[in-house]
Amino acid sequence: MNCIALLGQPNSGKSTVFNQLTGSRQHVGNWPGKTVEKTEGNYFFHGTSYTVVDLPGSYGLSGNSDEEIITEQFIKSGEADLVCVLADASQLERSLYMLADFVLMDHPMILLLNMMDVATAQGKQIDDKKLSEKLGIPVLPFTAADGKGFDELKTLIEQEMKAPHRPISKPEIAGTAKANADQILSGVKEKYSWIESLLEGVSKSAGEDYQVKGFDKLLLRPILGKVMTLLVILVGFLAAMFIMAPFMSVAGMLPGLLGKPIADFLTGLHVHPWLVSIFSLLIPNTFYFCISMAAFVFGVNVVFGFLEEIGFLARAAYQFDGALSKLGLQGKAVAPILMGMGCTIGGASGTRVMDNWGQKMLTMMVVWAVPCASIWSVIPVISNMFFPAWGTALVCLGIILYIFVLMFIVSRIFGGKLVSENDRSGMIMELPPYHKAHWKYILKEAWIKCFDMFKRALRTVTLVSIVFWAFSYSSSGNVENSLLYKVGTFIEPVTKFFGMGWRTFMAFITAAFAKEAVLGTLNAVFAGQDTVANIAFNASKAGVDKNALALLMTQTISGAEALAFMFAITFSVPCLMALSTTYKESHSLKWTAKTAGFYIVAALILSCIVYHIALPFLG
């Protein structure tokens, strides 16, 4: 078994090396007994398989966090044949601290000097041969993101497997376990002076003052910086829409193009209408739906991948750390939360940047409170049916204000359990220098995520839409003959209490599958022209006559019910795939269920409150 472990500080490019080595052959699980993520992958080189393990740990190994203990135990277990320690070549002195901690374990290792492109651009010269002589281990200068030197790295790993090297130099420190303050202080001193002696004659630090340059002059200002950050994100969203638009419009043609020929063909074969409807409506619509979702994930990931790589997201985290710490979150959570404004799925998978599981789970729960772009395509339409333009503006404002209330409630209820006092320590983070974007890498990563999303969506959506379709199938085409109608009207006395009649409640349920399905469902239940299933998973709004629907809805339900309904769908479970992604990222069925349960209950309570307050005015 050939096992390589990767170790490096944040921003050392560890995950880039891991992703480039293993491609999509990755497996994410948990370390035994811990809520720390274990990322493993493998690659083949010269016919041999190599396992790569991404070791947890932040800036050093001498703390006593779960991550650091896991890394220490893993190394001591001897499972890893070789450890690749990464250092950022552009900030060598500080980033060698991880190496200074690790050499104490006396294990076969190599050192990768990553981000050589940045170091070279800064005019830094590093004598890697001399460094290698001093350390007694191979040192490889490298730029992981451009994807080039990987053959060299794999060849080096192959050689080291046969003839490993251990470090010949290390800081003079006695045992690091459970050090007291004095021991920590002297240990740290020893480690940095060891690093300084290593770098003597290897690299010269410029020793110049730091100048805030270019874009940073705006971006690091207290108020202007926040405005600029939000503007950049807004432009990012427009770019994401631009990237995904072609995919969505092509996929949008599928139901129209495939539906009728399939239906005609199968009807000609005298297949049962049930099956005709599955193959001509359900399957093309499911495909359309999954492709649009994958395109959404692709667009959001390209944009945020770019913003992360150039170093923008670190600045955004700096700007919003103060606000987020009130929710028990780190500044880093700003990226997933803003991504959630585009797509909750993107936001949930964006929580990967968080330092530990608790922070990650809490961020995901907070991301759910942010209404995604699709909900904003639904709310104004419904609101306009009932209220004048200023009323719609008020509804939107009310929703925006409630986002903050809900975030606060979520952090109050779950924050304490997920993020311990110790992990609440404030921001200590590096602001990396601006980097050039490596587009090939960004696109490759976004593609892997998008394809994974497509596969998962296809499985989940097909399963759920079949169940839903069966519930809402009606032989006469009229909704009143469906099982859904019978269940809906049966529980109506209960749902009425929460402000929703059976029609709006049914749309509330489909909204938890996909927000795009809301208008279609409303059309089906109010106009009764089409079966719910035919429309529910068809993300298109085509075929919904908004004026006719407006007339029917305003005749059937009160303004108070419409208002309660709008709040309920906005703050319920965002969509089926957001749920599935939350499970995939958290690896915890318990917490995924808790999140979904909380949001459903909170949406119903909200709906109840809104309805009963609004009733005297809008009844």
Partner 1 sequence: MKLSELAANKHGTVKSLGRDEHFLNRISSVGITEGAVFQVVKNDRKMPMLIYVRETLLALNRKDCEKIEVSEVRV
Task: Give all strands (DSSP E) within 133-172, no chain letters.
Answer: 139-141
Cα–Cα nearest to 308, from 370, 236, 369: 236
- Radius of gyration (C-alpha) of the chain in whole angstroms: 28
To partner 1, the closest distance from the beta carbon of 68 in angstroms equals 9
What are the φ/ψ torsions at residue 106 (nearest 5 degrees)?
50, 70
381: enclosing H helix or E strand: helix 373-386
To partner 1, the closest distance from the beta carbon of 39 in angstroms equals 22
To partner 1, the closest distance from the beta carbon of 429 in angstroms equals 5
Residue (160 or 308) nearer to partner 1, CB = 308
Cα–Cα nearest to 276, from 284, 119, 76: 284
Structure tokens at 426: 């404030």
Helices within 269-372 (DSSP H only): 273-277, 283-309, 312-325, 334-342, 344-350, 357-368
To partner 1, the closest distance from the beta carbon of 75 in angstroms equals 18
Structure tokens at 397: 């404002």
To partner 1, the closest distance from the beta carbon of 195 in angstroms equals 9
CA atoms within 13 A on the CB side of 395: 28
To partner 1, the closest distance from the beta carbon of 325 in angstroms equals 7
Residue (32 or 222) nearer to partner 1, CB = 222
Structure tokens at 183: 């021991």
Q: Cα separations (Å) of 115 from 9, 209, 304, 306? A: 13, 22, 20, 16
Residue (151 or 209) nearer to partner 1, CB = 209
110: enclosing H helix or E strand: strand 109-114
* Residues contributing to the site for partner 1 (CB under 8 A): 9, 58-60, 62-64, 90-94, 97, 179-181, 184-185, 188-189, 192, 205-206, 209-210, 212, 220-222, 314, 317-319, 321-322, 325, 331, 422, 425-433
To partner 1, the closest distance from the beta carbon of 182 in angstroms equals 9
Residue (405 or 427) nearer to partner 1, CB = 427
Residues 6+ away with beta carbon under 8 Å from 545: 523
Cα–Cα nearest to 534, from 285, 360, 353: 285
To partner 1, the closest distance from the beta carbon of 9 in angstroms equals 8
Residue (33 or 222) nearer to partner 1, CB = 222
To partner 1, the closest distance from the beta carbon of 347 in angstroms equals 23
CA atoms within 13 A on the CB side of 313: 23
To partner 1, the closest distance from the beta carbon of 202 in angstroms equals 14
To partner 1, the closest distance from the beta carbon of 392 in angstroms equals 35
Residue (9 or 392) nearer to partner 1, CB = 9
To partner 1, the closest distance from the beta carbon of 330 in angstroms equals 10
Euclidean distance between CA atoms 222 and 250, whole angstroms? 44
CA atoms within 13 A on the CB side of 571: 32
Residue (188 or 373) nearer to partner 1, CB = 188
Residue (336 or 432) nearer to partner 1, CB = 432
Euclidean distance between CA atoms 304 and 311, whole angstroms? 11
To partner 1, the closest distance from the beta carbon of 109 in angstroms equals 19
Residue (187 or 347) nearer to partner 1, CB = 187
Residue (94 or 130) nearer to partner 1, CB = 94
Residue (19 or 90) nearer to partner 1, CB = 90
Cα–Cα nearest to 118, from 445, 428, 438: 438
Largest CA distance in the chain: 86
Residue (403 or 429) nearer to partner 1, CB = 429
Residue (314 or 337) nearer to partner 1, CB = 314
Amino acid at 609: I
To partner 1, the closest distance from the beta carbon of 542 in angstroms equals 49
CA atoms within 13 A on the CB side of 351: 30
Residue (210 or 390) nearer to partner 1, CB = 210
To partner 1, the closest distance from the beta carbon of 549 in angstroms equals 48
Structure tokens at 594: 């808790």
Strand order, beta sheet including 82-88: 26-30, 37-45, 48-54, 2-8, 82-88, 109-114, 139-141
- Identify the DSSP state of 210: P
Residue (322 or 416) nearer to partner 1, CB = 322
Q: Cα separations (Å) of 123 from 142, 203, 214, 339? A: 16, 11, 19, 35
311 and 432 in contact (C-beta within 8 Å)? yes
Neighbour-count burial of 475, counting CB atoms closer than 10 A to its CB (0-12 exposed, 13-18 middle, 19+ buried): exposed
Residue with tokens 């092509």: 250
Structure tokens at 25: 């052959």
- Identify the DSSP state of 86: E
